[in-house]
Amino acid sequence: QVRLVESGGGLVQAGESLRLSCVASGRSFSSYAMGWFRQVPGKEREFVATIAWSRGDTSYADSVKGRFTISRDNTKRTVYLQMNSLKPEDTAVYYCAADPVLYGSTRSREYDYWGQGTQVTVSS
């Protein structure tokens, strides 16, 4: 069992930055691929980024490529999402997810564990 707790969300203006954190507890964090997803009311959960448990291989949605960076610190059992040049369309609840595989998927149904989410609101 893995418990995930996100933090770092908030209200910012377009063009500003935020860094989300997700702290994991439970089974070996370093053996899990980690992902960030986001969701707005009435829409399906959307892939944002994922990072492998080894070597730090990453993958991003086209909509955030070049603006967002996912990283992890296995010693702190934490995965981060640095979000720069935020846009109003980035407004959503952001979720952290864990999958006990080497490389993370872009599909939310592949992930076994989820956090409670943190709200990000970007005003224009």
Distance CA 59, CA 73 (A): 17
Q: Which of 8-12, 23-27, 75-79 has the lowest mean pLDDT?
A: 23-27
Cβ neighbour number for residue 98 with a 10 Å cutoff = 26
Tokens (6 digits) for 118: 């943190």
Distance of CA 108 to the CA centre of its chain: 12
Q: What is the pLDDT of residue 31?
A: 84
Max distance between CA atoms of the chain, in angstroms, equals 41
For CA atoms 5, 83, 123, 88, the dihedral sign is negative
For residues 21 and 5, what is the distance between their CA atoms, to the nearest angstrom?
Answer: 8
pLDDT at residue 30 above 80?
A: no
- Closest Cα partner for 90 from 55, 48, 52, 49? 48
pLDDT in tens, 77-119: 999 999 999 999 999 999 999 998 888 899 999 999 999 999 9
Whether 56 shows a pLDDT value over 90: the answer reads no
Q: Residue 48 pLDDT > 90, yes or no?
A: yes
Confidence of residue 70 (pLDDT cuts 50, 70, 90): very high
